[in-house]
Amino acid sequence: MANQNYKQRIPIFFTVDDNYINYMTITLRSIVDTSKKTNRYDIYVIHTGLSKESRKKVYKITNNKDNFFIHFYNITFKIQDIQLRLDVRDYYSIATYHRLFLPTLFPFINKAIYIDSDIVVREDIANLYNTDIGNNLLGAVPDGSVQIYDEFKLYVKEIIGVEPEQYFNAGVLVMNFKGLRNFKFEKKAIDLLSKVSFKVAQDQDVLNYLIKNKVHYIDPKWNVMPLGDRHPNPSLVHYNLILKPWKHENIMYEDFFWDVADRVGLFYELLGQLKAIPEELKLKDFQGVEMVKKLCLAEVKRKDYYVNAINGDKKDKNTLKEELDFDNIKYPGHERRKQILEKIVQYEKEGKFDIDVEDDPPYKPIEPHGLDFLHHKLRNKFKSWFANWYSFRFFNHRIKKGDIVIDGYKGIENLKKLRSGAVITANHFSPFDSIPIHKVAKKYTKKKLFKIIREGNYSFPGLYGFFMRNCNSIPLASNIEVMKVTLNSIDTVLKRGDLLLVYAEQSMWWNYRKPKPLKPGAFRFAAKNNVPVIPTFITMRDTDKLDGEGYPIQAYTLHILAPIYPDPSKNIKENADMLRLENERVWKELYEKVYGIPLTYITEEKK
C-alpha cells in the first residue's frame, strides 16, 4: 500500500505538547474519519519534546489507515536561535510562534495546511487544501471573536493596521510555503519581533501585520467558532479562546466534539475533567476575556510605542510604569502574578516555607531505565555541552535585552580557594537563578556544577525543559529505583571533587527576598561525603523598568559566602545539623546587612 499512486498529497501541520495531545488526537480523528482513500495525508507533528506515550496516542488514530503518514519533528535545535529573539508571556509557552517558521523549516513543501488542536473537522480537509488562493501567501477566515467586540475591532485597526473584517484567525490556514519563502517572511517576522512585542494575540498579530493585502479569504464554513449566529452546516468547528467543551458546558457545537471524543475513547475521561473544574475557575475564564478587552484599549493608548519601535526607535520596550499602567489596566499575567504574591504572604503566615507557590505543568514520573544523569554516554555528553553553552547564551541575551539585570558578584575568592567537592546552597526565586552561580563556578574553578531539581522540572516542555534535563541536572524522583541512581550520582559528584547546587529551601517563591528555613537534605549530602557547604545568596533591588506583567525587573547581586566545613569529631547527623544552622545564620546576617532590616516572618509576628 505504501507505493500506491494517490490522487494528491496533503501536508497538514500541528504544533503540540504533551498537555494538549488528547485534544490533538480528537482533531486528527475527525480528519481521518472524513478523509478519502484516494488521497495521501501527511501529518506533521511539530514539537519541542513529546513523550513516547503521546506519540503512541497519535499513531493509534491512524493505525488502520494506509493513506495517513505521521511525521514527528522535534525542532528544539532548529528553532532555538529564533526563540532567543522572541517575547513570550511566561516560560511555559513558546510553541505559539512555531507556525511562523514552518515554510523555512520545510523547504521541500510548497503548500500546506496549518491547524490548531482545538478543532473538529466535518468535511474532507482535502477540499480546504484545494482552495485556490492564487498568488496570495495565506488562505484564512476572518476572526469571528474580533467581529463581536468593539475593543478588539479598535485594536486591530489602530495597532495591526487592518480593518476588523479583514483580520484573520491563524488557527486554520492554507499556507503558500513557497510564496512565504520568496517573501522572506521568516526574516521579516524575526525583525518585527525584535522591535516590538504584540501583547494581545502574539503570532496571530504578527501574521496579520506582515501579510495584510496578501490573504485570500476562504469560505467561513472552514473556521466556524461557537459564538454569534449558529452556522447551518460548518465544515470545521474551532473551539477558540475559552469556548472549549472540555472546560465549559453548553458550548455551541459541543455535540460534534463529544461525538469524536467518544470515538477516540476519551469521552468519559474528558467529561470527568469537565465536571471536576470548580465554578470559580470557569468564571475566571470569562473574566480573562474582559482583561484582554481592557488590554486592547491599553495598547491603543500607547500606539506611539508601536509606531516608534517598528520605525526604528531604539526606545527600550520596558517602558516606565506610567506608560504601561494607565487607568490601572494590567497586562495578561499581572493578576496571576498578584495571586502568586498573595499566596506567598499566606504561606508565610502559615509557616509553609517548603511548598512551591507555582504549580508545575502535569508530568509523568521518571522511568528507571536509560538513566545517565552524569552524561557518561557520548550522545548525552554532547547534549549536556550544548545545553550549558546555549543556556549561558540565552542568559546573556536576556541580560542584553534588559530582562535580567546583574549588579555584581561578591565573595568569588571563596570559590577560588576551594580544593575539594562542595555542596552549594542558594535561595530559589526564579527559573534562572542557578545560571549566575553556574557561570561563576565555571569561570573560577575547574569543577563541574551539577544541580538538584524536582521531578516535575525534569519533565518541563520546550526550551526550558531541554535546559532542565541537560544542564547537569540530577532529579529527585518518586520512583525508588530512580532515586538510587540519583543518590549514587550525588555521591560520585562530590567524591570526585565537583560541585552540587541544592536549593535547600525546597521551594521557589517568585522574587522572595527573605531566606527561608532550610531542609536537611543538602547538608546530609555534604556531611556524608565530608565536603564543605558554600552558602550563596542573591539579593535584589527594584529597577525602574517593568517586566511583561507590570512588575519591576529586579537587579541581582550574587553573594558567595565562606565555606562551612564538617567537624571530624561529629557524626553525619550532628554535622548535617551544624552545617544547616550555620548556613541559616550567615544567610540571616547577610540579609540584615544588605537590606538594613531585621529578618522576621509574618508567622513570628502572628505568634
pLDDT confidence tier of residue 465, bands split at 50, 70 and 90? confident
Residue 316 has pLDDT above 50, yes or no: no
pLDDT band of residue 602 (cuts 50, 70, 90) is confident
Give the C-alpha separation, 49 to 53, whole Å. 12
Q: How much of the chain, in percent, has pLDDT values that exceed 90?
A: 54
For residue 519, give Cα distances in angstroms to 217, 432, 437, 577, 585.
60, 21, 20, 10, 14
Least confident segment among 116-120, 311-315, 428-432, 433-437: 311-315
Q: How do residues 263-283 score in pLDDT, each as one tens digit?
A: 999 999 999 999 998 888 888
- Give mean pLDDT, residues 210-239: 95
pLDDT in tens, 542-577: 888 877 777 888 899 999 999 999 999 999 999 999
Residue-averaged pLDDT of the chain:
87
* Closest CA relative to residue 369, chosen from 485, 515, 519: 485
Tens of pLDDT, residues 145-154: 888 888 999 9
| Per-residue pLDDT, 78 | 60
Q: Which strands make up the sheet holding 215-217, listed edge to edge?
A: 68-74, 40-47, 9-15, 112-115, 168-175, 138-142, 215-217
pTM listed for this prediction: 0.60
Position 2 pLDDT exceeds 70: no
Contacts of 523 (CB under 8 A, 6+ apart): 423, 504, 533, 575, 576, 577, 579, 580, 583
Average pLDDT value for residue range 37-46: 95
The predicted structure's pLDDT at residue 366: 85
User: What residue segments make up the domains of the chain, in order of their start?
Assistant: 9-242, 292-350, 404-606
Give the mean model confidence (pLDDT) for residues 252-266.
Answer: 96
Q: Give me the pLDDT at residue 89, please.
A: 40
CA 364 centroid distance within chain: 17
Tell me the CATH class for 9-242: alpha beta
pLDDT (average), residues 21-41: 96
- Tell me the mean pLDDT in the region 149-171: 92
Give me the pLDDT at residue 454, please: 85
Question: How much is the pLDDT for 317?
Answer: 40
Residue 379 pLDDT:
86
Does residue 329 carry a pLDDT above 50? no
Sign of CA dihedral 496, 497, 498, 503: positive
What is the rounded distance in angstroms from the CA atom of residue 8 to the CA atom of residue 130?
A: 10
Please state the rounded mean pLDDT for residues 513-526: 94
100 compared with 78, residue with greater pLDDT: 100
CATH number of 404-606: 3.40.1130.10
Assign 330 a pLDDT band (cuts: 50, 70, 90): very low
Residue 82 predicted with pLDDT over 70? no
pLDDT, tens digit, for every residue of 452-464? 988 877 877 666 6
pLDDT at 1: 43
> Cα–Cα distance between 355 and 509 in angstroms, integer?
9
Q: Is the pLDDT at 538 greater than 90, yes or no?
A: yes
Confidence band of 325 (pLDDT split at 50, 70, 90): very low
Mean pLDDT of 184-190: 89
- CB-CB neighbours of 24 under 10 Å: 24
pLDDT in tens, 109-139: 999 999 999 999 999 999 999 999 999 999 9
